[in-house]
Amino acid sequence: MHESKMFHVPDMDCASCVSNIEKDVGEMKGVHEISVNFAAEKAQVSYDSDVVKPDDIIKRIKDSGYTAFLVEEDKGKEMKHGGMDHADMDHADHAQVESRKEIKSKLYKVIFGAVLSILLLVMSFAIDLPNEGMLMLIITAVILLYTDRDFFVRGIPSFILKGRPNMDTLVSLGVSAAFIYSSYVVLFTEPPHEEYFMDAAIISTFIMFGRYLEAKAKGSAGEAIKELLELSAKVAHKIVGQNKTEDVPIDQVQKGDELMVKPGEKIPVDGVIVEGQAVIDESMVTGESIPVDKKGNDKVIGATVNGNTSFTMKAENVGKETMLAQIVKLVEQAQMSKAPIQKLVDKVANYFVWGVLLIAIVTFSGWYFGMGLEPSRAIIYTVSVLIIACPCALGLATPISIVVGSGKGASMGILVKKADSLEKIKKITTICFDKTGTITEAKPKVTDFVVYEVPEKAADGFILDGTSPVEKDKYEEKLAQYIASLEYKSEHPLAKAVVDYSEKKNFKLLDAKNVEAVTGKGIFGVVGGSEVVIGNKEFLESKKVMRCAELDEKSEKLSEDGKTVLFFAIDGKQRGILALQDKEKPSSKKAIELLHKAGIKTVMMTGDNEKVANSIAKEVCIYEVFAKVTPAGKVEKIKELKEKGEFVAMVGDGINDAPALATADVGIAMGTGTDIAIESGDIVLVKGDLMKAVEAIELSHATLRNIKQNLFWAFIYNSVGIPVAALGLLNPMFSAVAMAFSSVSVVLNALRLKRFKAK
């Protein structure tokens, strides 16, 4: 059985660690795929559970020289924290505890190494002691055994036993060279001695200090998921009787429970208001800073904050079904994925350490054999080369920016599902928009209800309770009742508008049977023993319904006013038309204007008629419109644009948009839409606001710019530092300082993305 598990690996030190783990675990029988993220300190493994178990994977990672812990989803336990179950939270907490322990361990090693290094410094320059060389040898050995132990444990065996040198190999070889040479001089030569114990000790301490700072900075970069988890409420006020509530943990809330939400509290789970009204701050989930007014039947989101009134809600989504849980899942998914540019960096990193070792050998040979320099100086120049090389900066450059950028996006209501989406967005030349629910609010209202003619007596097959002659009001009421009863079975926004219209008229809905909806065309079924058909002209024709010239003429006039027209027939006879009108979202026009300024072409594709489509398009300044387009037609239009050389994004929210979202180079799904549309999209806009699409493009540009800055400095640093060290122009201690802060500088640069603000 195919499974996918996440493993926490807290002690990776560079890009070669990533490569080693991916290679070792990837070679295991039953493992299908593995993706390791250096910045997030995690490994995602897909495997066949009948062949390999999580414990086997952990053992293989440990055999590679690293620590691993399973971050497991325990489906047998109840949910809690508005979206994470016991296991999720326990393992998330465990991972955080392990990371904190790792950081604290590094700090202790830095302090220990610093104290003894200062002692060596004093012994070298301030005081003279008997057997000073031997004493310095012992103190340095203690520093290496404690402060640098991990470098030797992971670096030397990986190189000697597996032929896979890494960053730890470079550090351990460099420090060992200085220590072994100095020990030889002290033990086997006459004073005065030219030893480098102090250099080895200070180098070790500085490198560990750099690792400590890097770990702290990485922890700050990966706080997005932790912050999201902390948003959730811990307790819900469950209504257990009239005017009686009971406080229960979130993990005990079930679907259908009625909950009381008090002023200023976090909403416990996703649901719908059943009594009262509220002003809710949804900024932590949607990125929208303005509080939203809510009333009866309006949906509310778990973890958002209630205003100054209390209300009663019914729980609809609990545990991992809540929006917060889905956001956490998507952020983790994005952070574990790799951008295309990272693949190139990984290839470079695989050869980088071997290249440095070769340069170190050439450096020693050149100075000692070529230039005739004494061994001590040749060794110290070689140590400088080994110490200053920093594959860590290369390994961190891309993933750390992805981690911070995706986390920032989540706080803005922009969910990036894969890292490569951030890279692709920048290439967009054309954006195609669905109309309903994307450009418009998807809250159409019935504006006109037009009946063709009122029969003089009850129509055959369409019973009017035997009323004869037929009263106009009762006839129209009966028509609306049948139409609404059928549309009640549909999830289309237009169907909801028809149902809302009937509810305002207090019509009682009837049971509809044999209902079938044809996407983009209409719906038909049996209501009260009569066959009911609702849809566009072509759909009614396909059902052998005769066209009515008078209704066609009326529909033309309504369409010219920018209204959507639905034709309906009962028992094969066209009975009338419904006109509905939607309005564009307040931000749509501004968003499209900004896209035009950025040089991006905009296109509207809708199943609605030309006049309605052109009316909305004119309002929002879209100049290319394709109307009456089926879901398959949208796919074809996108393919045509791609064949012309356009890099196409599709923005939509409905089931009929899913194929187009999947076909486009970048699919942008409205978070207010259907689950299938969200699954098909590469990016999800939680608020369903087109301005968020513009912000997503800006965030993409900022993240890619940040990645390129990191890569530039990482490559420049190594390109300049290594030759300078090889030429003997850099003291090993300065090399250690430079190497220690190179990775930190990359992480700090990535952290600037936390301050990103859309222009």
Whether residue 504 contacts residue 516, with contact meaning beta carbons closer than 8 Å, is answered with no
Torsion angle, CA of 741/742/746/751, rounded to 10 degrees?
0
CA torsion angle for 34, 35, 36, 40 (degrees, to 10)?
-130
Tell me the C-alpha distance between 273 and 209, whole Å: 53
**What distance in Å separates the CA atoms of residue 81 and residue 85, rounded to the nearest whole number?**
7
Q: Which of 575, 580, 578, 589 is nearest to 690 (CA)?
A: 589
> Cα separations (Å) of 5 from 8, 37, 54?
10, 14, 8
Tell me the two tokens of residue 486.
Answer: 């059928």
Q: Any bridge partners for residue 445, and if so which?
A: 581
End-to-end CA distance of the chain: 48
CA distance 300 to 290: 15
Return left, alpha or beta for 269; rule: phi > 0 is left, psi -120 to 50 is alpha, else beta: beta
* Helix H or strand E encompassing 237: strand 235-241
Alpha-carbon distances of 565 from 51, 472, 607, rounded to whole Å: 58, 22, 12
Q: Is 465 part of the annotated catalytic residue set?
A: no
Alpha-helix runs per DSSP H in 316-417: 323-336, 340-365, 375-388, 391-411
Given 434, 582, 657, 689, the catalytic residue: 434
Question: What tokens appear for 492 in the block?
Answer: 């289309």
Give the burial class of 401: count Cβ atoms within 10 A of its Cβ; 0-12 exposed, 13-18 middle, 19 or more buried: buried
- Name residue 567's beta-bridge partners: 535, 577
Nearest 5°: CA angle at 90, between 86 and 96?
Answer: 150
Query: Closest by alpha carbon to 362, among 391, 387, 386, 393?
Result: 386
Helix (H, G, I), strand (E, B) or coil at 267: coil
Annotated catalytic residues are 434
